[in-house]
Amino acid sequence: MMRPSLQTNSQPAASGPATREVHQALVHHLSQRPDLGLDKVLLDLALEPASPFDPQRQRKFRKGFVLALFVASGLAASFVYFNFCGAGQW
């Protein structure tokens, strides 16, 4: 029994929008949405949620973020001290 061959379309459709037009439309759409983006995600991880009642109030750092920052800086300082400052030489 022969299986029907699959037809592949390697040519773009003539009636569809070009890649450049789709890219420009996507960039325009995302620029209209300030609530999306990598910077927003990173700020939401590091800062407390914004108050819907006082959006002009400055956001504070999350306690977990501050703790992780202190632990990471302590580990980095220990690494530098024990490996590059001559501490621990017998």
pLDDT tens track, the chain, 90 positions = 556 566 666 665 566 678 888 889 888 887 888 777 788 888 888 999 888 898 889 999 999 999 999 999 999 999 998 888 876 565
Q: How far is the first Cα of the chain from the last one, in angstroms, to the nearest whole number?
A: 80
pLDDT at 34: 75
pLDDT at 78: 92
Closest by alpha carbon to 47, among 70, 71, 35, 65?
65
Q: How far is CA 64 from CA 14, 43, 74, in A?
A: 54, 14, 15
The single-letter DSSP state of residue 47 is B
Q: How far is CA 87 from CA 4, 74, 77, 79, in A?
A: 74, 16, 12, 10
pTM here is: 0.53
pLDDT at 42: 87
